[in-house]
Structure 1
Amino acid sequence: MTTPRAQVRPRTEGWTQKKDAEGRPLLQFASPRRGKPPAHFADLTPEQRVEKMHELGMPPFRARQLEKHFFTHCTHDPAEMTDLPAEGREQLVHTLLPPLLTEVRRLSTDRGDTIKFLWKLHNGALVESVLMRYPGRITLCVSSQAGCGMNCPFCATGQAGLTRNMSAAEIVAQVVRANRVIAEGQLGDPRHVGHDGERVTNIVFMGMGEPMANYARVMHAVRVMTDKTHGMGMSARGITISTVGLVPAIRKLSNENIPVTFALSLHAPDDELRDEMIPVNSRWKVDEALDAAYEYFAKTGRRVSIEYALIKDMNDHGWRADLLADKLNARGHGWVHVNPIPLNPTPGSVWTASDRPVQDEFVRRLEARGIPTTIRDTRGKDIDGACGQLVATEADQQAAAATPVD
């Protein structure tokens, strides 16, 4: 007879979880008023960019030139824009392409194939993004908010709460800066990968923040990334937008007609545990989130990813793998793919990743029920750049205070 494994309950460590007047974990959907970032060319639609040129007394084709410089050549340096008139060039660029991100520090893995950036925004808020080279592709994990208001107890990012939403241009600027780093040969040696004219090929909205809580700006950024004429020309299929389960926003995404990859961060198939792990489950339960995820597949034909952080003795029990498979299969077959993620513990945490035999058994049970399953390769653990580890530390705050804004 097999002895049942213990059931660890979620709890915070080293920080106090914010709660409302009724003692429930506090959810922040609205961004605090912290001052808007500078107005930027990337915040405008292509039509608005032309209108802006008209306001400034310039011909419409100047908008196309600025698009090329910022989105393709990844620069906001007037000296590099020699096709613009010398007279008034600096003022024009300063007005329309103000710097949005100040690099505070950069950490790289020993192999140089993963870089974590700490950025300071105009008002001093700190965000991070992680650039990763894989064979055949380069992925950038971007932040969509400074901090996060979803208050999940096992995620470092949510400990400080939500500082503010990022603008669409601030989101796009992370990609622009990453492409500049790649072009300068700072992401390992491209000769061993075979790329020509390397750029970021894949975007994952899995950095700081809950993307669906900053929906309009995230979707504007995605349109800029995928616009082949006026933007960055990326493939929508290479962009992954994740959420902990904001059901109305998932349904809205289903109707956008932009074939991004959608990922649901589930982490538990039963409401009893998920209520404690993912506070937003108090609003929209597991079955509601899975129904919305299936609806995304039904409307777009794009297979959905289920993200599942495996935490030792908390959510990695075999019966939970069975329950998850049953819930997914009840909605159909071929619509979903599960990504178990060995937990990346934060400093001092007693929570840890599942033991390897337990992890393998969890995967085996899913696959035995016909659920495609792939263990997520988590990069950047040694530089605290992996999933759930993005947080501005005290040392980061000190470094940022000593770094003047660009």
Structure 2
Amino acid sequence: MNIAVISAHSCPAGTLGTKDTGGMSVYTLEIARELGKLGHKVDVYTRLHNPDDLVVLELGENARLIHIEAGERTKLHKLAVHGLLPEFTANLEMFRKENNLEYDIVYTHYWISTLAGEEFSRLWQVPHVTMFHTLGAMKNTFGVGEPDPDLRIDTEGELVKSVHRIIAPTEREKGELVNRYNADPNKIGVVPCGVNMELFRPLDRAESRQRIGLVNGKIILFAGRIDPLKGIANLVKAVALIKGGKDTRLVIVGGGNGDNEVQTYRELARDCGIAENVTFTGAVSQDTMPYYYTAADVCVLPSYYESFGLVALEALSCGMPVVANDVGDLKNIIRQGETGFVTAGNSPAVLAETIGQALDSRFAPAETIRESVKQYTWADVAGALTGEFERLICRYRVPVS
């Protein structure tokens, strides 16, 4: 198959942990590489946001990233990218024609790219598969952070009816698509996310702590975008409640020095009296993350909402126990009391009690924890997606009598 993948607003090769660059970027990059290994030709299209970026970047065997000009060559707010879609689609189509490219299917990510995908599906006469990654209607139910506009929610409601196929990472997300957007359940395929088990593996703990510069005490790790929906405020408050927490350090990986949210959490840590016990690392490369996972005593996902929960898979693959709110598919991934704990809520009190319990627990050995997620490789995900794509293409090509 020749597959066009579209991630207009978020570059898969961007700096992870910064705004708009998180699990979706990991997903897009890993899936492109794995589909390429299976012999498919994969072109991932994104908006050119950095003047130093190459127009075409090789990602691996049969897979490449293509930057398309649209607006200023700088990072823009997602809604600004929405306004640039006519220019983005026109320039993408010009690139396709100039390079004599033909595609069998288009696979889009996030609602903004799904809009572009609808245009290309009509133009190229090929089926369109999308993955929303998060749902605006779900995000707004929590009343945390900046609410998503009606534009997004209304557009998602229209798109679930017009696209040919939707990929949801969990049965829970499939249910939300049906309940909140009245999506046809027969149009939704459930394919979980994955983890790069070659990269995320148990390392020597003492060496890992030396590597990240944190040698002593208990380490509680948070990794992800610095966003209110991630529940970081509750985690900071929880650490302040943990008894005997003087030798406990919260390490928050993600964000940048100019991130206003980071400053907000710095001030919160100071107000809670634990400023000396909280480390903000900023964004960290994927290659470095295994050292953080291995160095920690527990990884915590205090999120209000996750469509899946990729960070948990990465931590578990490194042999690290996880404490997580019941979001995404974590209640089916984490083995209660063996590889971590799933909490019924993310209040500071609940998190503090469960993290304290985790710090005092004897979990399964690192290799056993890692073994618990062996079925979540990106190769498995790519294989499942290939089946979804091939079946859809066959149905699309059969004439209706």
TM-score for the superposition, normalised by structure 1: 0.32
Bigger share in helix = 2
TM-score for the superposition, normalised by structure 2: 0.32
